[in-house]
């Protein structure tokens, strides 16, 4: 399987502030490079600001299959609580 790698490092005052490496199966061109990096950065933002807190910062969120049909209410209540907390943070 062949893929492409983007190795990007953002500097501020000669210090590394944002090192990133992305792997994609999309053909990289000068025309689409910036868009690919934007999509990858957005995905990382979603992971670090939504899924990570759900799993590691007090919500004890698991994969929904771990709750089973009997505990669907628990799963949904955790999800709703997180959404409400996020709405408070961003207002």
Domain extent for 40: 1-57
Domain count for the chain: 2
Quick one: which of 45, 50, 47 has its CA closest to 78? 50
Residues 28 and 44 grouped into a single domain = yes
Residues 46 and 76 grouped into a single domain = no
Residues 71 and 53 grouped into a single domain = no
pLDDT tens figures, 20-43: 888 889 899 999 999 988 888 887
Residues 52 and 67 grouped into a single domain = no
* pLDDT given for residue 32 in this prediction: 92
Confidence of residue 79 (pLDDT cuts 50, 70, 90): confident
Name the percent of the chain lying above pLDDT 70: 78
Residues 18 and 49 grouped into a single domain = yes
- Indicate the burial class of 61 (C-beta count within 10 angstroms; 0-12, 13-18, 19 or more): buried
Residues 20 and 40 grouped into a single domain = yes
Residues 21 and 49 grouped into a single domain = yes
What is the Cα–Cα distance from 26 to 6, expressed in whole angstroms? 11
Residues 22 and 66 grouped into a single domain = no
* pLDDT reading at 68 higher than 70: no
Q: How far is CA 47 from the centre of its chain?
A: 2
Quick one: which of 1, 2, 38, 32 has its CA closest to 20? 38
Residues 48 and 65 grouped into a single domain = no
Residues 37 and 13 grouped into a single domain = yes
């Amino acid at each position: 399987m062949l893929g492409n790698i983007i190795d990007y490092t953002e500097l501020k005052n000669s210090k590394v502030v944002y090192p990133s490496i992305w792997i994609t199966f999309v053909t990289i061109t000068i025309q689409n490079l910036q868009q690919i990096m934007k999509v990858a950065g957005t995905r990382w933002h979603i992971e670090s600001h939504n899924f990570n807190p759900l799993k590691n910062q007090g919500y004890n969120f698991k994969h929904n299959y771990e709750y089973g049909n009997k505990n669907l209410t628990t799963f949904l209540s955790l999800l709703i609580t997180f959404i409400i907390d996020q709405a408070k943070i961003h207002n």
